[in-house]
C-alpha cells in the first residue's frame, strides 16, 4: 500500500510507510530483516496511526465534539500524534507525561500547541501516575480521554492498516514478527492480521528488563525485575485491554546496553538515526534471526526517529553518567 501522490492534509499522509531492508543485519544473520519505517509518518512515529484512529472514532461516536478537547497520558509519541492531528482538525489537546522523558518530546508537544502536564515518574498504583492524572483532567473538564491503553481503536487500526501493508509489501512472505509493546496495540493488531493470513507466522515480543510482559508471555504471570530501563513508551507492569489476548508466541528480553549498542550500529551500518524502542526491536529481531538460522524473513517496527533522543541516547556524556559503555562511533 503506497502513499498517494498528493495527500489532502497531514492526516491523509499517515500510513503507507515503506519496509526497509536492514542490509548489514540481513548479511550478518543470513535472514531478510525488514523494518516497517513508521518514523516516516508526518508526526514521526508509529503512534500517528492510532492518534488519527482514536480521534476519528471519537468524533463519529459523538464523544469528541467539534472544537473539543482531547486528554491523553503519553510518554511522548501518542501525545505528539494527537496534538498534530487534533490541531489540524481543530481540537485542543492536553497531554500528561512523566517529567523524566526526553525533553525533546516535551518541547515538541508545546510547539504543536498542546497543554503539557508533567507528572512524577511513579508506579501505576500511585495516584500521581500520568495515566490517573489524564483520567482526572478529562473528567474535570468534560473532555475526551483517548486512553490508548484500553481504546480498541488502537489495536484495530494496526489490524486494519499496518498488518495488511506488511502482508502486501512482503508478498505474503513473512516468517516472524518481532515488536515491543507499550499499550500493546501495535503488536497485537499486526499479529492478529498476519496470523489470519498464515497461522504459521511466529510473533515474538521484544521486552526491556524491568517490564512484566516477558514473564507474562513465558509463564502467564505478570512479574517484573526491579529495574529501570531507558527505552521510553514500551514495557508495562499490568495487563491492558490492547495487549490482552494478543497472539504472541514467544518473548525476548533486551538489556539497556543492547539498546545503546544497536542504536549506534544502526546509525553506522544502515544510515538510520532511530529511537530507543526501535533499537530494542532490532536487537531482538537479530537474536531471533540467529536462533532460527538463514533464509527467514523477519519483520520488525522502526517506531520513531532518534532526533527525539539527542539529549539521551545520542549524548555521550549522558550515557557515560548512567554507566553505559559508550560506542566508539
What is the DSSP code string of 88-150?
A: HTT-EEEEEEETTS-HHHHHHHHHTT-EEEEE----TTSTTSHHHHHHHHHHHHT-EE--TTT
Q: How far apart are CA 287 and CA 103, in angstroms?
A: 31
Q: What pLDDT shows up at residue 10?
A: 82
pLDDT for 4 equals 56
Question: Within this chain, do residues 187 and 57 fall inside the same structural domain, yes or no?
Answer: no
Mean pLDDT confidence for 241-262: 96
| CB of 207 closer than 8 Å to CB of 251 | yes
Alpha-carbon distances, residue 4 vs 14, 16, 17 (angstroms): 11, 9, 11
Please report whether residue 33 resides in a domain: yes
Could you tell me if 228 and 119 lie in one domain? no
Single pTM value for the model: 0.94
Which residues constitute the domain of residue 110? 47-145
Instruction: Report if residue 166 sits inside a domain.
Output: yes
Record the cell numbers describing residue 273, joined without a space.
538515526
183 and 258 fall within a common domain:
yes
Q: pLDDT digits over 87-105, tens only?
A: 999 999 999 999 999 899 9
Domain boundary among 145, 171, 202: 145
Work out the percent of the chain whose per-residue pLDDT is above 70: 98
Question: Given this model, what pLDDT does residue 88 score?
Answer: 93
36 is catalytic: no
- Domain assignment present for residue 311? The answer is yes
Determine, yes or no, domain membership for 155: no
Residue with cell 502536564: 117
**Same domain assignment for residues 193 and 306:** yes
DSSP output for 181-195? -SSSHHHHHHHHHHH
In a shared domain, residues 243 and 282:
yes
Q: Are residues 40 and 59 in the same domain?
A: no
Is the separation of the CB atoms in 116 and 71 below 8 Å? Answer: no
Instruction: State how far the Cα of 16 lies from the Cα of 3, in Å rounded to an integer.
Output: 5
Given the residues 24, 36, 47, 92, select the one marked as catalytic.
Answer: 47
- Is residue 325 situated within a structural domain? no
Phi, psi of 289 (to 5 degrees): -60, -45
pLDDT tens for each residue of 182-199: 999 999 999 999 999 999
273-314: pLDDT as tens digits: 999 999 999 999 999 999 999 999 999 999 999 999 999 999
Within a domain: 198? yes
Same domain, residue pair 189 and 40: yes
219 and 82: one domain?
Answer: no
Element (H, E) at 212: none
Q: How many domains does the structure of the chain reveal?
A: 2
Amino acid at each position: 500500500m503506497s502513499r498517494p501522490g498528493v495527500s489532502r492534509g497531514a492526516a491523509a499522509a499517515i500510513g503507507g510507510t515503506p519496509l526497509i531492508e536492514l542490509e548489514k543485519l540481513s548479511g550478518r544473520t543470513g535472514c531478510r530483516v525488514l523494518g516497517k519505517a513508521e518514523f516516516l509518518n508526518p508526526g514521526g512515529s508509529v503512534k500517528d496511526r492510532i492518534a488519527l484512529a482514536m480521534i476519528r472514532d471519537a468524533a463519529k461516536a459523538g464523544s469528541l465534539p467539534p472544537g473539543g478537547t482531547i486528554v491523553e497520558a503519553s510518554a511522548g509519541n501518542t501525545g505528539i500524534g494527537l496534538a498534530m492531528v487534533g490541531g489540524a482538525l481543530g481540537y485542543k489537546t492536553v497531554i500528561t507525561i512523566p517529567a523524566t522523558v526526553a525533553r525533546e518530546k516535551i518541547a515538541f508537544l508545546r510547539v504543536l500547541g498542546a497543554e503539557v502536564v508533567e507528572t512524577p515518574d511513579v508506579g501505576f498504583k500511585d495516584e500521581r501516575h500520568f495515566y490517573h492524572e489524564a483520567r482526572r483532567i478529562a473528567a474535570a473538564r468534560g473532555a475526551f480521554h483517548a486512553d490508548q491503553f484500553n481504546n480498541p481503536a488502537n489495536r484495530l487500526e494496526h489490524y486494519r492498516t499496518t498488518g495488511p501493508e506488511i502482508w502486501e509489501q512482503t508478498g505474503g512472505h513473512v516468517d516472524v514478527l518481532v515488536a515491543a509493546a507499550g499499550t500493546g496495540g501495535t503488536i497485537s493488531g499486526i499479529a492478529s492480521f498476519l496470523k489470519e493470513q498464515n497461522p504459521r507466522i511466529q510473533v515474538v515480543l521484544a521486552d526491556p528488563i524491568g517490564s512484566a510482559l516477558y514473564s507474562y508471555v513465558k509463564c502467564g504471570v505478570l512479574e517484573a525485575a526491579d529495574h529501570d530501563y531507558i527505552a521510553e513508551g514500551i514495557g508495562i507492569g499490568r495487563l491492558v485491554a490492547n495487549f490482552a489476548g494478543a497472539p504472541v508466541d514467544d518473548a525476548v528480553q533486551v538489556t539497556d546496553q543492547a539498546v545503546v549498542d544497536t542504536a549506534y550500529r544502526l546509525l553506522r551500518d544502515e544510515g538510520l538515526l532511530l529511537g530507543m524502542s526501535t533499537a530494542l526491536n532490532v536487537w531482538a529481531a537479530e537474536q531471533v534471526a540467529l536462533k532460527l538460522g538463514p533464509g527467514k524473513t523477519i519483520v520488525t517496527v522502526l517506531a520513531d526517529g532518534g532526533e527525539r533522543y539527542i539529549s539521551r541516547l545520542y549524548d555521550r556524556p549522558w550515557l557515560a553518567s548512567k554507566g553505559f559503555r559508550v560506542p566508539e562511533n
